[in-house]
Amino acid sequence: MKPALRLALLLAALAAALLLAVRLGAVPLSVREIVDAASGRGDPTTVTIVRRLRLPRSLLAALVGGALAASGAVFQALLRNPLAEPYVLGVAGGAAVGAVAMVALGGLAATAAPVSAAAFAGAIVAVALVFRIAAAAGRALDTRVLLLAGVVAGAFFNALILLALTFADADSFRSAMFWMMGSFSGATWRGDALLAAYMVPALAVLLALSRPLNLLSVGEETAAYLGTRVERVKLVAYGVASLLTAAAVAASGVIGFVGLVVPHVVRLLWGGDHRFLLPASVLLGATFLVLADALARVAAAPTELPIGVVTAFVGVPFFVWLLRRRGVA
């Protein structure tokens, strides 16, 4: 099958997943009702459910899934490590510190806008800190040093979070935990538009780096011999992928597993050329989170499951099955 056709099929799968996600919920809707509601006709409650709740929420799940999967693929290539994921450079820990500080100490709800802003700021501070730690070791972009710096910074952020939680009251504690488990319940059109406006140029830059990323996943010296300006590519790719992760985390909290596993699934099924791997990961990651969020909403209704529970429960058995069938490199 041609790569373009595969991408078209993945896009169709994403569209189907979005439609399914908007149909499912406390009030199941037909396709007809959704189409009417989307164009503002029909029952006002249905219009509200579709236009204010389910559509922005499902789109947010798609955007976050795409951002995390693309970022995971890039980190795996840059660090030449199959275990790398979007949070490996401390983005999640930094974002969580920002969010938990707002929730636990500022008493804000987990979905409030300042929490999202604080999470984004925390993520950026974390990335800057990790690069500073690595630079202090003398080789700012040495992959092994960066990994270690990420792990160390992550441990420090965890300690900060536990410290903040120790002094939080029960309500704030619950809110903070809720944020850290990740959720799309705070989705708004404005938030979706912001994330999308950032994702488009970010993905374009990463896609333009596809060939250098192919080379870097073989080796940095080889990449240089095949015409890559290694340090510049690494700096741009780390920066863009970190910002992508930060934007996703700010919008929905820390959602694990997508960024780690989706790129591997694409590689196992269709190979590792980033010109295909990146767009395919975006589409598959988006589809996966849209379906996972729909399942999280309806599986134990009216209780909403944490999205991370669903991604792991569905994703892990599937990945194990795929590994057994295909084997790794």
Question: Distances from the Cα of 284 to the Cαs of 66, 267, 325, in angstroms?
Answer: 7, 12, 20
**Given 148, 211, 236, 309, the residue binding other proteins (CB under 8 A):** 211
* Residue 23 near other proteins by CB under 8 A: no
Query: Using CA atoms, how far apart are residues 133 and 162, in angstroms rounded to an integer?
Result: 22
Here the tokens at position 296 are 């999280």
Q: How many residues bind other proteins (CB under 8 A)?
A: 30
Q: Nearest distance from residue 291's CB to other proteins, in Å?
A: 26
* Residue 322 near other proteins by CB under 8 A: no
Contacting other proteins within 219-258 (CB under 8 A):
219, 221-222, 224-229
Q: Nearest distance from residue 136's CB to other proteins, in Å?
A: 16
Question: Distances from the Cα of 68 to the Cαs of 134, 135, 150, 272, in angstroms?
Answer: 23, 26, 17, 17
Query: Using CA atoms, how far apart are residues 195 and 207, in angstroms rounded to an integer?
Result: 18
* Residue 81 near other proteins by CB under 8 A: yes
* Residue 208 near other proteins by CB under 8 A: yes
* Residue 144 near other proteins by CB under 8 A: no
What is the DSSP track for 219-230?
-HHHHHHTT--H
Query: Using CA atoms, how far apart are residues 178 and 185, in angstroms rounded to an integer?
Result: 11
- What angle in degrees, to the nearest 10, is found between the helix axes of 55-79 and 274-298? 140
* Residue 1 near other proteins by CB under 8 A: no
Q: Nearest distance from residue 227's CB to other proteins, in Å?
A: 3
CB 195 within 8 A of CB 251: yes
- The three-state secondary structure class of 84 is coil
**Given 199, 267, 280, 319, the residue binding other proteins (CB under 8 A):** 267
- The three-state secondary structure class of 197 is helix
Q: Give 226 or 320: the residue with its C-beta nearer to other proteins.
A: 226
Contacting other proteins within 272-291 (CB under 8 A):
272-273
- The three-state secondary structure class of 328 is coil
**Taking CA 312 as the corner, what is the angle to CA 118 and CA 322, rounded to the nearest 5 degrees?**
130
Q: Nearest distance from residue 77's CB to other proteins, in Å?
A: 8
Q: Nearest distance from residue 218's CB to other proteins, in Å?
A: 5
**Interacting residues toward other proteins by CB under 8 A:** 76-77, 80-82, 208-212, 214-215, 217-219, 221-222, 224-229, 267-268, 271-273, 328-329
